[in-house]
Structure 1
């Protein structure tokens, strides 16, 4: 099975305002985009398991022209709060790299 790191040439996470985190998965071509962009492995349940978010609030936006998919979820606490461990959410993507896609 291919992993996210195998089929994406760039994966990033970042703030989408003070209350949301967003991930951008740039696939390494149109073929891999078509094959994996709506993989069940990237379902809201994955984000519940990895990030503890409510799966009903996970948003997935495919962008075919860029061969990428954007996935966003609400932060558990607002950016910059006392519990903050990654102010800009720039390290959150790492957990996705090993996800096996089907």
Structure 2
């Protein structure tokens, strides 16, 4: 069965994690789907590095936070917040590539 991440997540968002990092939160609608995504390690460094066109080492962490049915990924910001060339000072519009992820479940 194929689904999009946006169809099984309640929240997909991005935000600054300081001026040099971006954090992505994916909060799932239900525990079963969260557990399935975690067990298959679908959200991983390779996926994030590919989506954001960055080397694996610039993906700092992928954390499964069970109390919230959430996965959090943190990466290096391509441009520090507020520097010349920054197009999103708050990092709030950087989650869009996650919306199109197709999942084979």
Q: Normalized against structure 2, the TM-score is what?
A: 0.87
Displacement of 1:38 in angstroms is 5.3
Task: Give the whole-Å Cα distance in 1 for the aligned partners of 2:39 and 2:9.
Answer: 14
Task: Give the whole-Å Cα distance in 2 for the aligned partners of 1:55 and 1:68.
Answer: 21
How many residue pairs get matched?
102
- RMSD value, Cα: 1.5
* 1:5 pairs with 2:6: yes
Shift in alpha-carbon separation, 1:38–1:79, aligned structure 2, 3 A: farther
**Runs of 5+ in structure 2 lacking a partner?**
none
Shift in alpha-carbon separation, 1:62–1:90, aligned structure 2, 3 A: same
**Contact 1:41 / 1:100 at 8 angstroms: preserved in 2?**
no
Structure with the bigger percentage of strand: 2
Match for residue 99 of structure 1 among 82, 98, 101: 101
**Runs of 5+ in structure 1 lacking a partner?**
none
Task: Give the whole-Å Cα distance in 2 for the aligned partners of 1:64 and 1:83.
Answer: 36
Q: Normalized against structure 1, the TM-score is what?
A: 0.90
Moved more, 92-101 or 21-30: 92-101
